Amino acid sequence: MKISAVLKMLKEGKITEREAEKAVSENFYADIGCAKVDLDRLRRTGAEEVIFGEGKTPEQIIKIAKVLVEKFGAAMATRVPKGAFEAIKGAFPDALYSDAARIVTIDRRAPKARKPGRRAKKTFIAVVCAGTADLPVAQEAAETARFLGSSVRLFADCGVAGLHRLLDNLDQIRKAKVVVAVAGMEGALPSVLGGLLKAPVIAVPTSVGYGASFGGITALLSMLNSCANGVSVVNIDNGFGAGYNAHIINSI
Amino acid sequence: MKISAVLKMLKEGKITEREAEKAVSENFYADIGCAKVDLDRLRRTGAEEVIFGEGKTPEQIIKIAKVLVEKFGAAMATRVPKGAFEAIKGAFPDALYSDAARIVTIDRRAPKARKPGRRAKKTFIAVVCAGTADLPVAQEAAETARFLGSSVRLFADCGVAGLHRLLDNLDQIRKAKVVVAVAGMEGALPSVLGGLLKAPVIAVPTSVGYGASFGGITALLSMLNSCANGVSVVNIDNGFGAGYNAHIINSI
Amino acid sequence: MKISAVLKMLKEGKITEREAEKAVSENFYADIGCAKVDLDRLRRTGAEEVIFGEGKTPEQIIKIAKVLVEKFGAAMATRVPKGAFEAIKGAFPDALYSDAARIVTIDRRAPKARKPGRRAKKTFIAVVCAGTADLPVAQEAAETARFLGSSVRLFADCGVAGLHRLLDNLDQIRKAKVVVAVAGMEGALPSVLGGLLKAPVIAVPTSVGYGASFGGITALLSMLNSCANGVSVVNIDNGFGAGYNAHIINSI
Amino acid sequence: MKISAVLKMLKEGKITEREAEKAVSENFYADIGCAKVDLDRLRRTGAEEVIFGEGKTPEQIIKIAKVLVEKFGAAMATRVPKGAFEAIKGAFPDALYSDAARIVTIDRRAPKARKPGRRAKKTFIAVVCAGTADLPVAQEAAETARFLGSSVRLFADCGVAGLHRLLDNLDQIRKAKVVVAVAGMEGALPSVLGGLLKAPVIAVPTSVGYGASFGGITALLSMLNSCANGVSVVNIDNGFGAGYNAHIINSI
Amino acid sequence: MKISAVLKMLKEGKITEREAEKAVSENFYADIGCAKVDLDRLRRTGAEEVIFGEGKTPEQIIKIAKVLVEKFGAAMATRVPKGAFEAIKGAFPDALYSDAARIVTIDRRAPKARKPGRRAKKTFIAVVCAGTADLPVAQEAAETARFLGSSVRLFADCGVAGLHRLLDNLDQIRKAKVVVAVAGMEGALPSVLGGLLKAPVIAVPTSVGYGASFGGITALLSMLNSCANGVSVVNIDNGFGAGYNAHIINSI
Amino acid sequence: MKISAVLKMLKEGKITEREAEKAVSENFYADIGCAKVDLDRLRRTGAEEVIFGEGKTPEQIIKIAKVLVEKFGAAMATRVPKGAFEAIKGAFPDALYSDAARIVTIDRRAPKARKPGRRAKKTFIAVVCAGTADLPVAQEAAETARFLGSSVRLFADCGVAGLHRLLDNLDQIRKAKVVVAVAGMEGALPSVLGGLLKAPVIAVPTSVGYGASFGGITALLSMLNSCANGVSVVNIDNGFGAGYNAHIINSI
Amino acid sequence: MKISAVLKMLKEGKITEREAEKAVSENFYADIGCAKVDLDRLRRTGAEEVIFGEGKTPEQIIKIAKVLVEKFGAAMATRVPKGAFEAIKGAFPDALYSDAARIVTIDRRAPKARKPGRRAKKTFIAVVCAGTADLPVAQEAAETARFLGSSVRLFADCGVAGLHRLLDNLDQIRKAKVVVAVAGMEGALPSVLGGLLKAPVIAVPTSVGYGASFGGITALLSMLNSCANGVSVVNIDNGFGAGYNAHIINSI
Amino acid sequence: MKISAVLKMLKEGKITEREAEKAVSENFYADIGCAKVDLDRLRRTGAEEVIFGEGKTPEQIIKIAKVLVEKFGAAMATRVPKGAFEAIKGAFPDALYSDAARIVTIDRRAPKARKPGRRAKKTFIAVVCAGTADLPVAQEAAETARFLGSSVRLFADCGVAGLHRLLDNLDQIRKAKVVVAVAGMEGALPSVLGGLLKAPVIAVPTSVGYGASFGGITALLSMLNSCANGVSVVNIDNGFGAGYNAHIINSI
């Protein structure tokens, strides 16, 4: 029930004050016990709540997804193991799964509602990826931004150990409105890109590496200390966050 | 000498091949011994080189500034101690100093060249600052973005311990095209802002705090782990980086 | 045997001095080889020993529980894996298990002995939980405080990314005598609560998160550096400790 | 102006809507440029804002103190260097300074308003301090709690290396409603106290020590991992926080 | 062949210089490919080489044990998983296994050669253990010292949360020539012991704990910063090292 | 197609400019989707790309290996689990696997092309290994250097706890042109070697150890702080990197 | 007053029960406000309290020293800056200062009471020091042990970078009953010594070094992970602790 | 006295066995109390002992330098503050000081003895430096290698933020036999160089940076995790070590 309808019913004495209060709050979030699904987030931040799958049971994911699909016609869950997807598919037969990105999407929106206008625009996000092992994180970023409505181009294996592979693709990357740079190990890619580009660079450190890479800490620190300008950083392996950030900048 | 002029002189036999090579490279950087000042950065990245003052002697800063002022009519140096500014003022009597931000600026550009067009635009950057002790970093961000050509509004002392101080200013902050959130201690401000805004939030952890704040590490980690979306992070106390990032997004 | 009885028997020559010494010490702890079960703790600290299940074999848990049940009519063990509970149930068919909290309880006390007086009182503990994945720790806190005799109300999914979900429940939370705030990732919840409440806030960082959350270190540091007053902190995932602390404050 | 007065004037058309809005917000905080002094905190949390002196100039401390003294008749600032106190004394000739605790207080409240009722009560806070070098932090805790209205007793040099010094004072400590335990180096004191007391123990690690004490990290970690129950922890050297927490528990 | 015999044969021309060199070196170590077993260690350090089982295959352990048993009539291997012991038992049917300590021993020495003299002495090592979960490390220490020839008494579950359990056994512990103190979590036991004893205390931090115990780092740091004198520390979970140290001190 | 051939065809109008561009770039790297295999590395750095197996699927390894074998007649992949090798063997029946070093090699080069000249030279690399558990890393170093064309001698179990085992082999080690020193735990071996040798020492810390060895961090730090000269360090367990470095120095 | 005297006076009614209690406790510690000087420590642990000078004012040191000198005829204070010694000398004109060790001693005991018996014994402590910059810590260890009554021999500059300097002195070092090994940087010295000696080795890491020596952490970790047996460790720069430990072992 | 001379005198009965032993050992090191100057190092490692000035008094430096100058005709001390140099100049009027590198050299060798042969060779070391603030470390490396006898070329300000400055000098750098890469902040330079060069790259992290650069830790970790081959690393700010390593490789 919309807030105006609730208030009208209250005024007409059809519901009590307590019932009205509860009905109003249901416009803002749905309390389903294990979660209070944020229904107001789209209005406040420009994007619906996305389900962070890690640490949630398939049952919890399904319960939250049901609320979102009912409200918005679509839902996305990140960091979903393959096994959990099987359970989710039982509840949503039209759910899709990206093996690489470990993302589940359910999308029942009319094609028009999928923001075709924006897609039609010439602007796109470039996701530049240092090594083959960094690809899953890069794909999480790309899938996220696409689900939210942006166009994305992915450039794989452009690490600085073979600089010509990056320079060879530079003309294409330069055309992007915003760039996501994904790298593990020493995480030097965003610094090199930052020195070559006008677009803002969102750096994603990955946990790829061993020994003193400390599960991505080295790449994270490296990116935070970039000698190049225009680089900002998200958490280790946080492809989702980078894709989200890139999308809201691409949407400006 | 412009590259075309060099090539013309070479063709006409007025200079040797070696002289031509040197003259061409001087279009890209000026080698002054202690530094190779990047003259090509404006073309590549959209902004001139800014002098990072920390670890440089006043003499080095002056030498680099001279190259930049000659080429671009302006120069900015960050992290300059008051004492060093005195020496710089000897070389550039028109240099200005911001005590709070510890930034030196020299600006001899015609008012028009200071990007008046963009300033006239309605868009602005909101710099939101958690506590009084975080102000210097917030001011470094604000000064940087202004020097580069953006409009900036600064909101001081909006920390989450008194949430109403932030919520009271929310309507104003919501109008910004991009938001810089500056906080020390537990660094919770960007999370709260991220959950309330459509604009991208650039989070700057500061070294304000004591004990287990570890010189800003806690705030940095907190911001990297933000449960809100749309937040990206720069280095501890990196007001310059945040202002630069905010400007390039504001310039889109 | 009570100490007075032992002394009487010693005086009457029915037992030797050595036997008396041993019998007296048995009032204070029971030495069962792998453990010296603290029988005096209730007198000293106001609460019986609780079995920390991690790192103990089911056999050890059973041996200790037997001593406690015999002495106090009840026993509680935390951090017990489901598998170990099966073994414990073999020894205590009336043992109960909370899946979420991983707590085993055996309670043979007469209902009256379960401190009904205190339960009847109006005071209660509010356990406020940031995200769905933090629920197990919140439930450990709630179960612990209930076992010890306090009333508890649990508020799930009140993280700061959707501030309205917290503010909407604030009136209820304000009525609590003491508040437990459970959060992972950047752990901002206790700061926001601390700025809004009169009651003491016991903050519990959880290991929920990834990358630079470092298994809860970020949330821990964030809580230790809270800019709000009235917040104290327990170990990562230490729901038990928070519930215990909350109970002794609630018992004042 | 009280909110009711503002609304009355607005209704009577004596002030504009904008003026009313500003006047209402002034009941909640005073915007003095460098700070938004929280005037509503007493109502929300039960205690007025206390000025954290570190990182603030004497001028900023004076400006904030003026607002607080005008509103509440008293102000307290922590972590004020001796030198800064001289400047503050220029503005507040009746300001007092505790050398050990580095706290400035200005108190113009009528004796009655200093919560004599609570002081008269039998309850008190015990501040137990491990070593001589930990005394400044213990005194910060004691001064804070006293300023807020609690009675405090300080027990110096009760470290565990000479256990009898602690046990000898145990009868006195047991009478406290809440205990603050202050220790550096290995920080074992709260564990020993926690095992002996019914009262909640607020543990304060100090930066006293050298080498692998890492400026208090060891004591902090030790206290977070206490094997005794009833112990919660505040930041390193955070005597203020411990005193504040102890006071709100003592006020229950 | 003893060195003297080798030299004699060389002098008599029965072996070449090269053969002599090899034969001499075989008195000092046995090169078996994967290892150079140190046969000279007993002479140099007073104790034979002990096999550190972690990271070695059962085959490697057997090969090294064969050399040691042949030379000294006995061998000990620490950190041997149960599974590996089965394989070892195949090669040494008389090998014994301590489940708790995860130690394998083979001992074919004549009872007299097992240093009965020293065992007969009144001196012994006290191994004092904080909690039930610390027992395996304590038992590794005890088994090691016993294998090397010392008498050992083990005191279980004497953690500081129930101080009376420790004080009750103090008279016995005071009789030891050297004390090993084993504790996890906050590791306060050695500090309390150090303040009460004349004997040197060898502290062993264990990895028992969770969250901010960081796998034993907290206990380690705590012990290194002990405010009591007479405490020295070995690596986390290094029961072997503590037992070895205790034995060489007990052997003085 | 060689670059000259491409340019010729372009001049003759047989291919378009775009086709020429693509054909030229194929001389530098092969874009196979998941990777851009660096075909130019041999020319630039003197060695072909080696496949880092960790984090790559067997399919990805096979795809990259095919490109390398086709181009260079040989390929090597490090950190390949036994299971993955089975899959690789399906594609390359002549692939060889070193269990200890976890390296796969395919080598179809004519014996002459395997740099027999260099092997024939008197120079060799000494790989000195501290303990038995460090052997896999030492063997990764040795196998890598051999694949690249160097002669290698491996000295096992030369740790400093039994110094005579090292000194006994010193004459042999001194003959090497470059030395690789592999050690875990406290990593003291390179310091002792550095003080005794003229040759450069490349130190490889291993993750062998427990407790405060922190997975090799202690050995890494120890080696970085060596009081001996001539020691440089690679990442923890980076046998490959040490072998590569040793080879390029041996090739001088 | 001795306890027996107190009890006698109490029995005779010359003092009240309260006075008796206070008089008894004064046998155990002297409460001087800032400290409770431990007068019972000699009886319990075999050595008097030593004043840890760091973090204490000269006035506090003097007050504590007065109690100790009155009771025991001697006092020692460690980590006393030169400036503080001047103040102490004002109160104790016979106080002596060791510049290198930063130790103050006052010794008014009759020569006989200085444990001449033990000094006459053949046993001594060897303090072996790695580098010239480590000497102050080594001297703190030596001075401490000498004050407590042991004989000490100091071996300077025996670091492992020039192994022959150590081996050349080995015969002398082997005669010591216990060895203190002092080293900064990579701290390899105790490992080498541990492999060569029968005596227990107490390792002292020093903060000598730079960069990744992290103020002594590297040396500390290195010593904790020693591959040699018989090594235990004290805190960074804790010469006092090592000297104390060595003395109590030397006293066995 | 040479060893042969000593032995001759011993044989002739001119000196006692003890005198002979002392005289022989003086060929290997000079015991001057605070240090045992290593006189044998040139023979063993190919280079004389260099004085590490940090933590040594000017007097100690002078004493050691005297021994070295007497023996070898030259001495070098690193990390010498300007003030200390003044004192050293008093003892060695011909001592030279490099302000940037903070190195003192005394060189009385005949020009020929300064290894003119090697200098004449075509090989040289390239020291490539990322930023202006990194220059002191780069100069320490260059000065060290020059003192030891190598030719060096220094390339300043070649950081990756302006890649063309590096690529423009690549042809020169490629001619070096070994390359030293000096960088602070994110330390990406060695990775880029490693991917472009055949020569071994010795990477030196510097403490240049702020915030999460952690005094050079970030650069250090970045270099250890380089995705390029052929890179090995020395300690933070260890210009000396890099110069030394480069020299011994250049000497091959």
Q: Is the pTM of this model over 0.90?
A: yes
Q: Among all residues of chain H, which has the CA nearest to that of B216?
A: H211
CB count in 10 Å sphere of residue H213: 25
What whole-number distance in Å separates Cα of residue A45 and Cα of residue B195? 7
Helix (H, G, I), strand (E, B) or coil at F251: coil
Which other chains touch chain C, taking contact as 3+ CB pairs less than 8 Å apart? Answer: A, B, D, E
Angstroms from C207 CA to nearest CA on chain A: 10
User: φ and ψ at G138, to 5 degrees?
Assistant: -60, -40
Q: Average pLDDT, stretch C167-188?
A: 95
For an interface test with E, the pick among D132, D157, D218 (most E C-beta atoms closer than 10 Å) comes out as: D218
- Could you tell me if E34 and E60 are in contact, meaning their C-beta atoms sit under 8 angstroms apart? yes
Residue G224: pLDDT band with limits 50, 70, 90 = very high
The mean pLDDT value for A86-92 works out to: 96
Q: How confident is the model at residue C116 (pLDDT cuts 50, 70, 90)?
A: very low
Residue E21, by phi and psi: left (phi above 0), alpha (psi -120 to 50) or beta? alpha
The verdict on ipTM greater than 0.85 is yes
End-to-end CA distance of chain D: 32
Note whether B248 contacts A: Cβ–Cβ < 8 A. yes
Residue linked to tokens 């003309």: A171
What's the average model confidence in pLDDT over H96-115?
86
The whole-angstrom distance between residue A48's C-alpha and the CA centroid of its chain comes to 11
Q: Per the structure block, which two tokens stand in for H87?
A: 């004192």
Give the nearest partner residue to B186 out of C191, C213, C214, using CB atoms: C191
Give the phi and the psi of residue D96 in degrees, each rounded to 5. -115, 155
Adjacent-strand bridge partners of H202: H180, H232
State the Cα–Cα distance between residues B131 and B210, nearest whole angstrom: 14
Residue F38 CA to residue F158 CA, distance in Å, equals 38
Residue F239: closest CA among chain A residues belongs to which residue? Answer: A211
G149-162 confidence digits (pLDDT tens): 999 999 999 999 98
Select the residue of C192, C218, C225 nearest B163 (Cβ to Cβ): C192
Q: Give pLDDT, residue D232.
A: 98
**Mean pLDDT value across residues F134-151:** 96
d(CA F143, CA B2) in angstroms, rounded, equals: 54
Spatial distance between the Cα atoms of A15 and H132, rounded to a whole number of angstroms: 73
SS3 percent helix, strand, coil of chain H, rounded to 5, is 45, 15, 35
pLDDT of residue B113: 63
Q: CA–CA separation, G77 vs G92, rounded Å?
A: 13
| C17 pLDDT higher than 50 | yes
pLDDT in tens, H19-59: 887 888 888 899 998 899 999 888 899 888 899 999 899 99
Nearest CA-CA distance, residue C35 and chain E, Å: 5
Q: Do chains B and C touch (3 or more CB pairs under 8 A)?
A: yes
> Which of A58, A61, A54 is CA-nearest to residue A83?
A58
SS3 H165: helix
Q: How many CB atoms lie within 10 A of CB F167?
A: 15
Give CA–CA dist F15/F11, Å, rounded: 8
In 10 A of CB C9, how many CB atoms? 15
Mean pLDDT for each 10-residue chunk of chain E (252 residues)?
Answer: 83 86 84 90 89 93 96 95 95 95 93 54 92 96 95 95 90 96 97 95 97 96 96 98 97 91
The answer to whether the Cβ–Cβ distance between D41 and B213 falls below 8 Å is: no
Query: Per the CB < 8 Å rule, is C200 touching D248?
Result: yes
The answer to whether residue D120 scores a pLDDT higher than 60 is no
Whether G94 has a pLDDT exceeding 90, the answer reads yes
Could you give the CA distance from residue H198 to residue B105 in angstroms, rounded to a whole number? 44
H, E, C per residue of chain A: CCHHHHHHHHHCCCCCHHHHHHHHHCCCEEECCCCEEECCHHHHHCCCCCEECCCCCHHHHHHHHHHHHHHHCEEEEECCCHHHHHHHHHHCCCCEEECCCCEEEEECCCHHHHCHHHHHCCCCEEEEECCHHHHHHHHHHHHHHHHHCCCEEEECCCCHHHHHHHHCCHHHHHCCCEEEEEECCCCCHHHHHHCCCCCCEEEEECCCCCHHHHHHHHHHHHHHCCCCCCEEECCCCCHHHHHHHHHHHHCC
The answer, for G87 touching chain E at a CB cutoff of 8 Å, is no
Which residues are CB-neighbours of F83 under 8 A, at least 6 positions away?
none
* H-type alpha helices, C73-151: 82-91, 116-120, 135-148
pLDDT higher than threshold 90 for residue F155: yes
Report the C-alpha gap between D135 and D137 in whole angstroms. 5
- Whether chain A lies against chain B with 3 or more Cβ pairs closer than 8 A is yes
pLDDT in tens, G25-38: 888 899 998 899 99
**DSSP classification of residue H78:** E
Residue A48 has pLDDT above 90, yes or no: no
Residue H19 has what pLDDT?
A: 84
Range scoring the smallest mean pLDDT among B85-99, F184-198, H23-37: H23-37
Q: ∠B237-B242-B247 over CA atoms, to 5°?
A: 155
Higher pLDDT, residue E88 or H112: E88
Q: Which residues pair with H233 in a beta bridge?
A: F233, H203
Mean of the per-residue pLDDT values of chain D: 92
Instruction: Assess whether chains D and B touch, using the rule of 3 or more C-beta pairs within 8 angstroms.
Output: yes
Residue D18 has a pLDDT of: 82
- Among F26, F24, F28, which residue's Cα sits nearest to residue F7? F24
Is the confidence at residue C117, as pLDDT, over 60?
no
Find, among B203, B88, B196, the residue nearest to B141 by Cα: B203
Listed residue (F147, F129, F125) closest to F138, CA to CA: F129
**pLDDT band for position F115 (50/70/90)?**
low
Average pLDDT score over residue span H107-133: 78
pLDDT for the residue numbered A119:
47
- Read off the pLDDT of each residue in G40-63 and give the average, rounded to a whole number: 92
pLDDT at residue A121 is higher than 80: no
Residue D150's closest CA among D180, D174, D130, D194? D180
Answer whether residue H116 shows pLDDT above 60.
Answer: no
Model confidence pLDDT, tens digit, residues F32-80:
988 999 998 888 998 889 999 998 999 999 999 999 999 999 999 999 9
Q: What percent of chain F has pLDDT over 90?
A: 74
All chains having 3 or more CB pairs closer than 8 angstroms to chain A: B, C, F, H
Say how far apart CA F206 and CA F238 lie, in whole Å.
8
Q: What is the dihedral of CA D83, D87, D89, D92, to 10 degrees?
A: -150
- Dmax (CA) for chain B in angstroms is 73
Interface contact flag, C36 E156, Cβ < 8 Å = yes
Residue recorded with tokens 């991992």? D225
Percent of chain G with pLDDT over 90: 74
pLDDT score at B116: 39
Whether F161 contacts chain E with CB within 8 A = yes
From chain A, the residues in CB contact with C162 under 8 A are 29, 36, 38, 40-41, 49
**pLDDT tens figures, C76-102:** 999 999 999 999 999 999 999 999 899
Instruction: Compute φ and ψ for B46, nearest 5 degrees.
Output: 90, 0
Q: What local confidence, expressed as pLDDT, does residue C18 receive? A: 82
B73 pLDDT more than 50: yes
Strongest mean pLDDT among A118-127, D7-16, F154-163 = F154-163
Tokens of B65: 């500034």
Q: Which helix (H) or strand (E) holds F232?
A: strand F231-233
Q: How far apart are CA C142 and CA C149, in angstroms?
A: 11
Give burial (CB, 10 Å; 0-12/13-18/19+) of H192: buried
Q: What is the number of other CB atoms lying within 10 angstroms of the CB of residue B56?
A: 23
- The pLDDT score that the predictor gives to residue B6 is 84
CA distance A46 to A50: 12
- Given this model, what pLDDT does residue H78 score? 96
Q: What is the DSSP letter of H180?
A: E
pLDDT of residue F167 exceeding 60, the answer is yes
Asked if residue A200 has pLDDT above 50, the reply is yes
The Cβ of residue G15 has, within 10 Å, a number of other Cβ atoms equal to 18
First to last CA, chain B: 32
- What's the pLDDT band for C112 if we cut at 50, 70, 90? low
**How many pairs of residues across D and G have Cβ atoms under 8 Å apart?**
57
pLDDT tens sequence across A130-181:
999 999 999 999 999 999 999 999 999 999 998 989 998 999 999 999 999 9
Q: What is the sign of the dihedral through the CA atoms of A203, A209, A210 and A212?
A: negative
Q: Would you give the DSSP letter of residue B251?
A: T
Q: Confirm or reject contact between E138 and chain C (CB < 8 A).
A: no
- Give the whole-angstrom CA distance, residue E92 versus residue E71: 15
Residue (of E247, E210, E245, E241) closest to E79 by Cα position: E241
Pull the structure tokens for residue A67. Answer: 């609320």
Q: What percent of chain D has pLDDT over 70?
A: 96
Q: Which residues contact F88 (CB under 8 A, 6 or more apart)?
A: F58, F61, F62, F65, F77, F80, F95, F104
- 8 A C-beta contact, residue E240 and residue E247: no
Tokens of B211: 């004990």
Gap between the Cα atoms of H57 and F130, Å rounded? 37
Residue A159, both tokens: 């690490």
**Mean pLDDT confidence for G210-221:** 97
**Nearest residue to B234 via CA among G104, D224, A233:** A233
Q: How far is CA E178 from the centre of its chain?
A: 15
What average pLDDT does range D52-59 have in this prediction? 93
pLDDT exceeding 90 applies to what percent of chain D? 74
Q: Tell whether F205 is within 8 A of chain G (Cβ).
A: no
Alpha-helical segments (H) within chain B: 3-11, 17-25, 41-45, 58-72, 82-91, 116-120, 135-148, 163-167, 170-173, 189-194, 217-224, 239-250
* Cα dihedral H104→H45→E31→E8 (10° resolution): -120
d(CA H202, CA H223): 10
* Cα of G216 to nearest chain E Cα, Å: 13
What CA–CA distance (Å, rounded) separates A172 from D121? 76
